[in-house]
Amino acid sequence: MSVFNKTVSNTFYMVLVWGILTLTSFFFQLLSIKYLTQEDFGISLTAINFSVFISSIVILGFNIAIAKLIPEYIRKKKHERARNIVSRSFIIILISSFIVSIIILINFKQISILLKMPVSILILSVISMFFYSLSIFFGNIVYGMQNMKRYFISGSAFGISRLIISFLLILLGFGYFGPIVGFLIGNIIWLALLFTPKMITFKIKNFNDKKLFEYSVPGLLSTFSNSLFTNAQYVILSIIKTVKITGVFGVGMLISSVVAVIPNILSLSIFPILSELSVGGRKNQSLRLIKYTIKYSLFFTIPIIFIFSIFGNTVILLFANENYVNAKYIIPIISVSSLIMSLASGMNNAIYAAKKPTTYKYILLIVSSIFLIITPVLSYLKGDIGISIGFFITMVIFFIISFINLRKIIKLEFPSMNLLKILLASFLVFVPWIFFASYVNNIISLITVSLISLVLYVLLLVLLKFYENDDKRIIKSFLNKMKINNFDKIIDRI
């Protein structure tokens, strides 16, 4: 399969799995917001995100190393070596999970007081951490093998089962236990579908694989930093402020998380391909993939940021209630930060795929250190707004450092003209709605206004000569993948 077709195929399945995970996550959080008190919602958020954050440490970066090395070894037909690194990583993660679980359980009283959650919830968080770590690990094995169909099925099963179980338990009156138990059982189902016994052997030769550990150390920093930026914020707010403030921040993060979906899909779709291309040193193809990832990330996300910023009140009331309306002040900040983070992460992942793990590692060390220094202080001073500003500052620094270092490797140029055209089209289409925002106060009017604006946005970009021949080719390939073959002539005329 050609690089182009493989990219389209990977992206197609990543769109499906991220679409389902995003949709089910939205409803998962929506149920919690609608049926739980602010305090209970804050407890469930803290518990789940504590599990995810601890998992980022427990897994020791082997998930990222596996996703990087498996495509390389498969391309070189070193299947036994691939099996070897998977097995030794699996054993180390089991030992790591056991040690961390014991440490938490020995200090369970102090930790539960610090996080402002019941002891029973902390125990569930520890169990969830174990299954989530293994699910992520085996998910990255399937991802590295580019078995995207299986990746899609297992991810969908996790999202749907988590939603259904949470919904039933909340309706039965189990309160914050609903989302937490739903998350736990969802992970057990996810792991069952991902588990790959043929990749595991306990007869391991040459346990000290230098290449595995060379990539796992920056991988640990990657998993830790991503969890720090997206999960630890809830824990920090719960410790410094209250679980109620954590709940308000959670609504802002929930809505703003939509912005990062498409950039993350594109970045994840090309990562194993960039790893393959690094074997042959094909920098031009890598440059082209990264260029289009940035271009389409900007194209899809900037209009969403305008919609969320202008109609923030309506969006919040659709997904929550008036108790969370203060989240409108942080949505624009977090939305822009999420876009910048997804672009920066994508570029830094490209550095990692280009066999520069040391550079990748130092970037994450610098950015994580800055985040840990400024966000607790700003959280203490300004609560949810403070942590949002800290997030924004950190992501801007992350983007600048990643771009400068990637440019040294493949001579990347930022698509400034594309960005200017997107901003101009978005400004002309969306800004006039500010004067009519008060009339857009229900889901029907919001959807209507958004659809009209998006159509005008796409057409205005035609006039601005934004689209290129490669864009048409990509659209045709996606439509063919979905068995839609009636729009080729229309696309050619654009």
Buried/exposed 102-113: b ≥16 CB within 10 Å, e otherwise: eebeeeeeebbe
User: Which of 276, 299, 263, 395 has its CA nearest to residue 340?
Assistant: 395
- In angstroms and rounded to an integer, the radius of gyration of the C-alpha atoms of the chain is 22
Could you tell me if 146 and 11 are in contact, meaning their C-beta atoms sit under 8 angstroms apart?
A: no
Could you tell me if 272 and 146 are in contact, meaning their C-beta atoms sit under 8 angstroms apart?
A: yes
Token output for 453: 């604006």
User: Which of 134, 67, 19 has its CA nearest to residue 349?
Assistant: 67
- 133 to 56, 130, 170, 461: CA distances (angstroms): 8, 5, 26, 43
Running DSSP on this structure, what letter comes out for residue 195?
-
Could you tell me if 37 and 170 are in contact, meaning their C-beta atoms sit under 8 angstroms apart?
A: no
Helices (H), 36-118: 38-58, 62-75, 79-106, 108-115
What is the rounded distance in angstroms from the CA atom of residue 48 to the CA atom of residue 155? 17
Q: What's at 396, amino acid-wise?
A: V
Q: What does the pLDDT read at residue 393? A: 94
What is the rounded distance in angstroms from the CA atom of residue 394 to the CA atom of residue 374? 9
Q: What's at 466, amino acid-wise?
A: F
What single string gives the DSSP state of each residue in 18-36?
HHHHHHHHHHHHHHHHHHS
To the question of pTM greater than 0.75 for the whole model, the response is no
Q: What does the pLDDT read at residue 397? A: 94
Helices (H), 411-442: 416-430
Token output for 333: 């900040």
Place of tokens 């106060």: 441
User: Which of 444, 61, 58, 415 has its CA nearest to residue 215?
Assistant: 61
Running DSSP on this structure, what letter comes out for residue 436?
G
Could you tell me if 349 and 215 are in contact, meaning their C-beta atoms sit under 8 angstroms apart?
A: no
What is the rounded distance in angstroms from the CA atom of residue 133 to the CA atom of residue 135? 5
Q: What does the pLDDT read at residue 316? A: 81
What is the rounded distance in angstroms from the CA atom of residue 469 to the CA atom of residue 473? 6
What is the rounded distance in angstroms from the CA atom of residue 29 to the CA atom of residue 37? 13
What is the rounded distance in angstroms from the CA atom of residue 410 to the CA atom of residue 290? 10
Q: How many Cβ atoms sit within 10 Å of the Cβ of residue 127?
A: 15
Per the document, the length of the chain is 494
User: pLDDT per residue over 151-160, tens digit each?
Assistant: 788 888 888 8
Angle between helices 258-280 and 283-310 (to 10 degrees): 180
The dihedral through the CA atoms of 153, 159, 162, 167 has a sign that is negative
Running DSSP on this structure, what letter comes out for residue 207?
S
Could you tell me if 336 and 392 are in contact, meaning their C-beta atoms sit under 8 angstroms apart?
A: yes
Q: What does the pLDDT read at residue 266? A: 78
What's the gap between Cα 459 and its chain centre? 30
Place of tokens 């930022």: 414
Angle between helices 62-75 and 210-230 (to 10 degrees): 130
- 401 to 327, 359, 397: CA distances (angstroms): 30, 10, 6
Q: What does the pLDDT read at residue 280? A: 57
Domain regions of the chain by residue span? 1-198+208-230, 238-416
Q: Name residues of the chain where pLDDT drops below 70.
A: 1-15, 18, 74-75, 77-79, 198-209, 269, 271-284, 321, 469-494
Token output for 365: 């060390």
Please report, to the nearest 10 degrees, the dihedral formed by the alpha carbons of residues 61, 67, 70, 75 taken in order.
-140
Mention every residue, 6+ apart, whose C-beta is less than 8 A from residue 174: 181
Token output for 421: 């055209």
- Assign 254 to helix, strand or coil: helix
Helices (H), 148-176: 148-171
Mention every residue, 6+ apart, whose C-beta is less than 8 A from residue 453: 303, 307, 429, 430, 433
